[in-house]
Amino acid sequence: MPRIKAHFDRLSHLFLPLSVLVILIVINLIKGADYFRITMVNGAFYGNIPNILFGASELVILAIGMTLVTAASRGQDISIGEIGAIASAIFVQYVLRAGSAVTLWTILAGFLISCVAGLLIGAFNGTLVSFFRVQPMVATLILFLGGRSIAFIIDGKVSPILANEISNQIGTVIPGVPIQTPIILTAVFIAVVVVVLKTTNLRLYVEAVGINPNAARLNGIDPKKIIFLTFLIMGVCSAVAGFIAVNKAGRHDSVNLLKFIMMDAILAVALGGNSLGGGKFSITGSIIGAYTIEILNRTLLRLEVNPEAIKAFKAVFIIILMVIASPVVRAFVRKVVDKAKTIVAANSVRKTVGLNKAVFFITDSSAGKKEE
């Protein structure tokens, strides 16, 4: 029992995202019983579930990076969409310089260069936060305001088109592979993150710094380096998300690419049961939160809500979510649960005492009859 209770406590943070996910699925099933139907079109799977996995690819990757940044720095990076726009602009320019001779190696080299760009931008944000102790939201506000202008200049003040077959396959499907490429890339990225967290002390160090940086320093962990590292990882996550987004679109739109996606990334972290004040974190929760947000967007569209009104519905949803997840409500629920446990335990004790008395009475009566 103690082992089961400990396992339940470890998974309790997933109750909120899973509950919201189940509610949204039920709503969609009421709207149409064919919600889970999957069809094969031109050798690839299509349907609501594949579309959700496809649409949430960038958000899942960004939510992972945002989780680490939030846990270590106790703040959020609001420039992730702009970092993705800059990194993807560099990728597009590198590919376009190859002309018509675009090969897989050209795409791979461009991707690595864009990741280096993401690292450098992440290093800029990380330096401001970790070494100059600027609040994360203020430090990343710089690129949030000017990042898209930089991407626009890199584009040459136009919207360049990726007119090559390899980019098209990366953004859609590879012939002979039934799963859309962005879904595969997201799964590979998640697998890499899981391996890193399992084989290194990254989780331990990030949580230690987020919970108490002074205590972490006394134990030989440098909070500045850990916070700096999380912003580097966030830069790479943004570059990967930008790479997927631009190949999906087939062109680079520096104005709208990943626009305002940081709001959904922060919401995914909160929805996943993670504290926005730093400390312990759950990558699993953030991933579930990201897919839940994508389902929410598609559910509202399926219910024929005006696209412009979706933001208002999401705002109401966020308010309800934040109230439910607030420390006040959590403390109240904890008190109610503890009180219920006390009542159940008291009733159990009473039944046990009553049973013992009955047994004692029966035993005593049997002994008296034997004596007679």
pLDDT, tens only, 280-299: 999 999 999 999 999 999 99
365 phi and psi angles, rounded to 5 deg: -65, -45
pTM of the model: 0.88
The pLDDT, as a whole number, for residue 218 is: 95
Q: What share of the chain has pLDDT > 90, as a percent?
A: 64
Whether residue 340 sits in one domain with residue 282: no
The pLDDT, as a whole number, for residue 216 is: 95
| Residues 77 and 234 sit within 8 Å (Cβ to Cβ) | yes
Q: Specify the range with the lowest mean pLDDT, choosing from 22-36, 66-80, 126-140, 205-219.
A: 22-36
The pLDDT, as a whole number, for residue 45 is: 92
Q: What is the pLDDT of residues 230-266, one digit of tens each?
A: 999 999 999 999 999 999 999 999 999 999 999 999 9
Burial of 309 (0-12, 13-18, 19+ CB in 10 A): exposed
What angle do the packed helices 283-302 and 15-31 form, to 10 degrees? 20
End residue of a domain, out of 302, 325, 348: 325
The pLDDT, as a whole number, for residue 237 is: 98
The pLDDT, as a whole number, for residue 42 is: 82
E-strand ranges in the chain read 38-41, 44-47
Q: How far apart are CA 360 and CA 354, in angstroms?
A: 10
The CB density around residue 362, as the number of other CB atoms within 10 Å, is 10
Whether residue 284 sits in one domain with residue 168: yes
Whether residue 235 sits in one domain with residue 156: yes
| Residues 285 and 273 sit within 8 Å (Cβ to Cβ) | yes
Q: How far apart are CA 261 and CA 245, in angstroms?
A: 12
338 falls in which pLDDT band (50, 70, 90)? confident
End residue of a domain, out of 305, 325, 345: 325
For 25-58, b/e burial (b = at least 16 CB within 10 A) is: beebeeeeeebeeeeeeeebbbebebebbbbbbb
Whether residue 321 sits in one domain with residue 338: no
| Residues 118 and 235 sit within 8 Å (Cβ to Cβ) | yes
| Mean residue pLDDT across the chain | 88
End residue of a domain, out of 290, 308, 325: 325
Whether residue 82 sits in one domain with residue 18: yes
Whether residue 342 sits in one domain with residue 220: no
The pLDDT, as a whole number, for residue 306 is: 84
The pLDDT, as a whole number, for residue 366 is: 55
Domain with 354, as residue range(s), is: 333-372
Whether residue 88 sits in one domain with residue 183: yes
Q: Does position 4 have pLDDT exceeding 80, yes or no?
A: no
How many independent structural domains does the chain possess? 2
Q: How far apart are CA 236 and CA 200, in angstroms?
A: 18
Write the CA distances from 181 to 36, 115, 172, 239, integer angstroms: 20, 19, 6, 17
The CB density around residue 177, as the number of other CB atoms within 10 Å, is 12
Q: Does position 356 have pLDDT exceeding 70, yes or no?
A: no
Whether residue 88 sits in one domain with residue 8: yes
Q: Does position 17 have pLDDT exceeding 90, yes or no?
A: no
Whether residue 166 sits in one domain with residue 78: yes
Closest by alpha carbon to 10, among 280, 276, 250, 202? 280
CATH of the domain at 66: 1.10.3470
Whether residue 319 sits in one domain with residue 337: no
76 falls in which pLDDT band (50, 70, 90)? very high
Whether residue 209 sits in one domain with residue 168: yes
| Pairwise pLDDT comparison (186 vs 318), residue with the higher score | 186
User: Two tokens at 293?
Assistant: 């947000």
SS3 category, 47:
strand
Closest by alpha carbon to 77, among 128, 15, 117? 128
Kind and range of the H or E run holding 241: helix 223-249
The pLDDT, as a whole number, for residue 353 is: 55
Q: Which amino acid is at 255?
A: V
| Residues 129 and 227 sit within 8 Å (Cβ to Cβ) | yes
The CB density around residue 158, as the number of other CB atoms within 10 Å, is 10
Whether residue 117 sits in one domain with residue 72: yes
Q: How far apart are CA 1 and CA 13, in angstroms?
A: 20
